[in-house]
Amino acid sequence: MKTWWRQSSLYTQLSIVSVTVLSIIILGLSYSSLQTQKTALFSKLQADANIMAKNVAFSSQYPLISNKLDNLENLLLSAARYPDVLNLQVMTPQGNNLGHITILDSGKIKIIYDLSPNLIPLKFSSNKRHITQTKHKLSIWQPIHNSTHIGWVLLEINLKPYQVIQKKLALDTFVNGFIIILLNLIILLGVLFFPLRQLSKAIEFSQKLINMPGKTLDLQGGSKEVNQLISTLNKASAQLKIQDDKIANTNTLLEQKIATRTKNLQETNKRLILLQHAIEQSHSSLLITDNLHVITYVNPALEKLSGYSEMELIGMTPSALKSANNELDVIEPITQILNDGNEWIGEFVNQRKDGSDYWVRSIISPVKNDQGEITNFIAIEDDISGNKKFEHELHQHANYDILTGLPNRKLGLDILQKAILNTQNHHSKMAILFLDLDRFKNINDTVGHHVGDLALIEAADRILGCLRPQDSVARLGGDEFLIILQDIMDTTKLDTLLKNIETELTKPYLLEDREHILGASIGIAISPDDSDNASDLLRQADSAMYTAKRNGRGQHQFYTQSIADKVLHKSQMTAALYHAIEQNEFTLLYQPIMDLHKEKITHCEALIRWNSPHLGSIGPDIFIPIAEESVLIIDIGYWVIRQACRDAKKWDIQTISVNIASAQLREAEFIQTLKTILEEEAFPANKLCMELTEHSLMEDVSSIRKSLQALVKMKVQLSIDDFGTGYSSLSYLKHFPCRFIKIDKSFIDDVAINREDASLVDAIIHMGHALSRTIIAEGVETEAQLNKVKSQGCDYVQGYFISKPLSAHAFEKLIHV
Amino acid sequence: MNLKRIALIASLMSFTCVTFAESFTWSVVPQFTSSAIHHDWTPILKELEKRTGHTFTLKIYETFNEFETDFLVGKSDFSYMNPYHILMAKQTQNYTPLIRDEKSQLTGILVSRRGSNIQTLSDLQNQKIAFAAPNAFAASLYMQALLKNKEHIDITPYYAGSHSNAYRQVLTGQTQAAGGVYRTLTKEPPEAQAALQVIYKTPSTAAHAIVVHPRVSAKIQIEIQQAILDLTQTKKGQNLLNAILIPKPVKASYQQDYQVLEQLNLTPIVYGQ
């Protein structure tokens, strides 16, 4: 309903509204006026009738009184002529007619002479007029008085004419009303017809306007508003035309520009296509990334080389191609250089999709836009796997024995040189073994060189199998091998290794279904004991080997006797140690540890010394390893703890450090026994510090972890000794709950003069501080060293420059000064 | 009488001396209602005025009594009256009849209400009968004389004042019967006529006539007479004559027409009765 109204024309709306409103108003007014008229009419009618009745009554007086019935009749006849009189009677008070006039329907007047008396309603009093009304008749009973009641006038008025008039009035009124409404409507719509028609023409025009700019509507509006609308539309039309023309012009210009541009583009396109072909067909691999190093394009050559499809590579970074077998991390440095806007040229190893590696020589360049901003990186790579392979082979050929795969003489000597240097740096010992296979010539002579080769290969393998990671073996030539054993601190280790090698090599060789027995003659030189010169050592080892061969083959011979002696003495020493504890042959010395910030002695380290009556003064570096091979280390360890507690009980220091072997921590009773000792000696656990070497920690961490955790729980301090010499990973350090880190002497030695050592120390200090540990520098022997480590932020120093290890008495004196 | 004769001659003489426009009074017996009389007589008088050049003033009376009183003293110059009145007027003032209708005769009638129990004359014994006036000649005077003397019916008269009223007395039941004449009955509305029946009638006599007072000069008398007679010439004049119930006017003569009535010995009812 409501949408219909909103969409209907103005004309319709006006019509409907006008009709409705006018109808309501006019019909309403008509009705009310009609009612008023009706009432008025009837009132008048009644009033007139009353007056007439009264008049008749009045006029009848004389005829009645004088009994002039003819006059009465005349009177009635004339009164009856009044309109709408139906019946007029004058009668006696009793109701006897004295005159009776009736008007027939035809309008004819009839005189009635009827003697039958009228029934005067009983309730009529003779004092007043009585009016009764039926549907069509109004009856007025008017009494005739002349001081007394002398008669009645009965006047009956026909209401039909009145009703007819009424109806006619009503009809007229309503007809008038309708006419008024109609006229109004006609006038209204007439007036509006023209403007509205012009308006719809204008609307039509406006709709067509869009398609026919420039056309004007030449029309009179019929009203101000429509005129304005038409004139505006015409203006708009003109405007549209102008704009249309403008657009047409612009279009023409644009088309020209487009033609020119298209031509340019086509030329550019040709060039691009050419370039594209060049890239796609190039033999070099091409890779393009965006400025965030995300691959956006690879050429077919790269696809072929890498085994990946373009689809697989797009969206990845070039690091996805890198092989894990790169020696160095190549990604970080390259990225840095490139991001700085520089070119990088270099080689690295990539990995194919099938997992195989290949070497590439790569030129990676940044690509900049006109504003100088890097938008892309482009890498041109050439497969140099072939070259590399060749290089490798060359290298191999130059340095390795083809038969056994072991380093050849050249490389072997290189290794030896390096090993000597390393040993010097670490103040450790190394052994070189000159090994000659026994009865090798036999095989060659009897079964042939090819079996001999097989024997050599087998022997090489067996030797390798006996070595530790830090050891090396090279084939010097023929059946001679050079074995380099590094980090031989204790001769027992050497002993074990020698034994292993000899055992292995003496095992039968099954070569071409025949068993052969070989042996080995080994000459041993120790560095730095025997020499710190490579050629000297070789010579010494060689001569030792000849001695072994002279002595009957299948044995080894040391160049220096003292070592041998030492080896021989191992068992003697063990026995002596056994009694050392009960016979009080051990003493503890205390080396002060100074606080660099406070410049005060606040800690000390307990160091054991053995004065054997039989063997003399033996340093802990000799007897401790022997003790560690047996259970003696446990008891010695406990003795050290107990003695340290007793001595340090009264001292005003924060901690006293005691060296602990991993074997002690592995012992099941260790924690309980420690607790007992501390209780017995009434020594606070937090004043005790336990030093473990980095080496021992690395050896078997899991089994000693429990003990460490227990120690921590007890509030015993922990310290890592000789830090930097082991292979501990830094992440392990994070987990090891030590308070102190003792930088190994080897780093401190050259800290003041060697930049690398200084950097390393600096690094250790910073790292240690970062992990909230306290750093102690060991082996500080010069002022320069002290100042250096102090400047680097080291917390404590220990060494000969501060004090040599002191007796308990001396130490006590020192700190109480 | 001498005095009267002298007066008459004197007036006659005075009249004969002057014959240019004069005005005369003309009375009409109230046989009908005043309005009817006025209605009927005015046109003809006007016509006579036109024809003769004289002026006539119509005198109408409500009652017979008044009418008689006036003509008995000779108040009007001309008058239209019933035969008995003519006798009276002749005897007293010597009015002479001038014009009468040739044919019409007066017949008195007695009417009763149709359907009532008064059907014959004998039913009227001792009943009340309405008359217009005592001296309404045929209707009353002659009728009553006949009833009394000839028919030997005793009645109680009621004088209604006019024929119309007399009829209405019987019509409304006030009286049992009414005395009238045909000419008045026929003038009644049809309903009235339908409601009445004639139960007795008198022998016919000469009808009313226009009489003239002797003071009017003979010349004028003849002039007027002739003028009336001339009215028959035209249709309009005829109509006028019809209205006054003299459709065929002829010269009237006392001796020939009315003298005979003297023998009836009608006594006036109006006086002292």
ipTM: 0.71
Which whole number is the average pLDDT over A434-460? 86
- Taking Cα atoms as reference points, which of A603, A623, A594 lies closest to residue A611? A623
Helix (H) or strand (E) holding B110: strand B108-113
Answer yes or no: are the C-beta atoms of A89 and A116 closer than 8 Å: no
- For chain A, residues classed under CATH 3.30.450.20 are 10-167, 282-390
- For chain A, residues classed under CATH 3.30.70.270 are 407-559
- Taking Cα atoms as reference points, which of A788, A779, A723, A781 lies closest to residue A758? A788
Angle, CA of A748, A751 and A756, to the nearest 5°: 115
A67 contacts on B by Cβ (under 8 Å): 160, 165, 169, 174
CATH topology of domain B2-104+208-264: D-Maltodextrin-Binding Protein; domain 2 (3.40.190)
A103 contacts on B by Cβ (under 8 Å): none
Q: Distance of CA B35 to CAs A71, B32, B41, B61, B235, Å? A: 10, 8, 10, 10, 24
Any idea which residue has 């008229």 for tokens?
Answer: A37
- For chain A, residues classed under CATH 3.20.20.450 are 570-815
B167 contacts on A by Cβ (under 8 Å): 70
Start-to-end Cα distance in chain B: 26
DSSP code for B195: H
Which pLDDT band, with edges at 50, 70 and 90, does A180 fall under? confident
What per-residue string of b and e applies to A488-526 under the rule 16 or more CB within 10 Å gives b? bbbbbbbeebbeebbebbeeebebeeeebebbbbbbbbb
B169 contacts on A by Cβ (under 8 Å): 67, 69
Question: Is B184 in the A-facing interface, judged by CB distances under 8 Å?
Answer: no
d(CA B196, CA B110): 10
pLDDT attached to residue A727: 66
Answer yes or no: are the C-beta atoms of A782 and A797 closer than 8 Å: no
Contacts for B196 with CB less than 8 Å, ≥ 6 apart: B111, B112, B113, B114, B167, B170, B171, B178, B185, B188
Which whole number is the average pLDDT over A156-167? 86
Helix (H) or strand (E) holding A511: strand A509-511
Of the ranges A551-560, A749-758, A773-782, which one carries the lowest mean pLDDT score?
Answer: A551-560
A74 contacts on B by Cβ (under 8 Å): 33, 35
Answer yes or no: are the C-beta atoms of A761 and A789 closer than 8 Å: yes
CB spacing of A113 vs B192 below 8 angstroms? yes
d(CA A358, CA A381): 11
Per CATH, the homologous superfamily of domain A570-815 is EAL domain (3.20.20.450)
Residue A678 above 90 pLDDT?
yes
Question: Is A111 in the B-facing interface, judged by CB distances under 8 Å?
Answer: yes
Minimum-distance CB partner of B172 among A66, A69, A74: A69
DSSP code for A630: S
Class of domain A407-559: alpha beta
Strand duo A796-798 + B55-60: pairing? unpaired
A10-167 domain in CATH 3.60.90.10? no
Distance from B171 to chain A by nearest Cα, in Å?
A: 6
pLDDT attached to residue B18: 47
Rounded to the nearest integer, the mean pLDDT of chain A is 86
Question: Is B197 in the A-facing interface, judged by CB distances under 8 Å?
Answer: no
Contacts for B179 with CB less than 8 Å, ≥ 6 apart: B108, B109, B110, B111, B129, B130, B131, B132, B136, B139, B140, B143, B144, B166
Residue-wise pLDDT for A713-766, tens only, equals 999 999 998 887 766 666 667 777 889 999 988 889 888 888 888 988 998 899
Of the ranges A263-277, A697-711, A712-726, which one carries the lowest mean pLDDT score?
Answer: A697-711
Contacts for A170 with CB less than 8 Å, ≥ 6 apart: A34
CB pairs under 8 A between A and B: 50
B32 contacts on A by Cβ (under 8 Å): none
- For chain B, what are the domain ranges? 2-104+208-264, 105-205
**Share in percent of chain B as helix, strand, coil (round to 5):** 45, 20, 30
Residues 93-152 of B with CB under 8 A from A: 113
Question: Is B171 in the A-facing interface, judged by CB distances under 8 Å?
Answer: yes
Question: Is B167 in the A-facing interface, judged by CB distances under 8 Å?
Answer: yes
pLDDT attached to residue B1: 58
d(CA A589, CA A607): 5
pLDDT attached to residue A167: 86
Tally Cβ neighbours within 10 Å of residue B154: 11
d(CA A788, CA A742): 16
CB spacing of A115 vs B165 below 8 angstroms? no
CB spacing of A111 vs B191 below 8 angstroms? yes
Distance from B201 to chain A by nearest Cα, in Å?
A: 23
Any idea which residue has 């541009």 for tokens?
Answer: A261
Distance from A178 to chain B by nearest Cα, in Å?
A: 51
Which whole number is the average pLDDT over A800-811? 92
Residue-wise pLDDT for A476-492, tens only, equals 888 899 999 988 877 77
pLDDT attached to residue A568: 52
pLDDT attached to residue A563: 47
Give percent of chain A above pLDDT 70: 97
Answer yes or no: are the C-beta atoms of A526 and A448 closer than 8 Å: no
CATH topology of domain A282-390: Beta-Lactamase (3.30.450)
Helix (H, G, I), strand (E, B) or coil at A370: coil
CB spacing of B162 vs A70 below 8 angstroms? yes
- Taking Cα atoms as reference points, which of A555, A535, A434, A546 lies closest to residue A483? A434
Minimum-distance CB partner of B165 among A69, A110, A115: A69
Question: Is A98 in the B-facing interface, judged by CB distances under 8 Å?
Answer: yes
Residue-wise pLDDT for A458-478, tens only, equals 999 999 998 988 899 999 888
Contacts for A743 with CB less than 8 Å, ≥ 6 apart: A723, A724, A761, A764, A765, A775, A776, A777, A778, A794
Minimum-distance CB partner of A98 among B35, B172, B192: B172
Among A60, A64, A66, A70, the residue to mutate for chain B (most B Cβ within 10 A): A70
The answer to whether the B2-104+208-264 and B105-205 domains have the same CATH topology is yes
CB spacing of A68 vs B33 below 8 angstroms? no
Which pLDDT band, with edges at 50, 70 and 90, does A239 fall under? confident
A112 contacts on B by Cβ (under 8 Å): 191
CB spacing of A96 vs B164 below 8 angstroms? no
Minimum-distance CB partner of A113 among B33, B161, B171: B171
B164 contacts on A by Cβ (under 8 Å): 69-70, 73
CB spacing of B165 vs A113 below 8 angstroms? no
Among all residues of chain B, which has the CA nearest to that of A73?
A: B168
Residues 34-93 of A with CB under 8 A from B: 66-74
Residues 676-705 of A with CB under 8 A from B: none
Contacts for A104 with CB less than 8 Å, ≥ 6 apart: A110
What per-residue string of b and e applies to A36-45 under the rule 16 or more CB within 10 Å gives b? eebeeebeeb
Residue-wise pLDDT for B187-199, tens only, equals 899 999 999 999 9
Residue B16 above 70 pLDDT?
no
Tell me the one-letter amino acid at A274. Answer: L
CB spacing of A96 vs B172 below 8 angstroms? yes
Q: Which residue has the higher pLDDT, B266 or A525?
A: A525
Of the ranges A87-91, A239-243, A260-264, A554-558, which one carries the lowest mean pLDDT score?
Answer: A554-558
Among all residues of chain B, which has the CA nearest to that of A90?
A: B172
Minimum-distance CB partner of B191 among A71, A110, A115: A110
CATH topology of domain B105-205: D-Maltodextrin-Binding Protein; domain 2 (3.40.190)
**Sheet strands (E) in A339-383:** 344-351, 357-368, 374-383
Tell me the one-letter amino acid at A328. Answer: L
- Taking Cα atoms as reference points, which of B117, B190, B114, B124 lies closest to residue B157? B124
A724 backbone φψ class: left, alpha, beta (φ>0; ψ -120 to 50): left
Among A72, A111, A113, A118, the residue to mutate for chain B (most B Cβ within 10 A): A113
Which whole number is the average pLDDT over A603-621? 84
Range among A3-7, A556-560, B158-162 with highest mean pLDDT value: B158-162
Which whole number is the average pLDDT over A47-72? 90
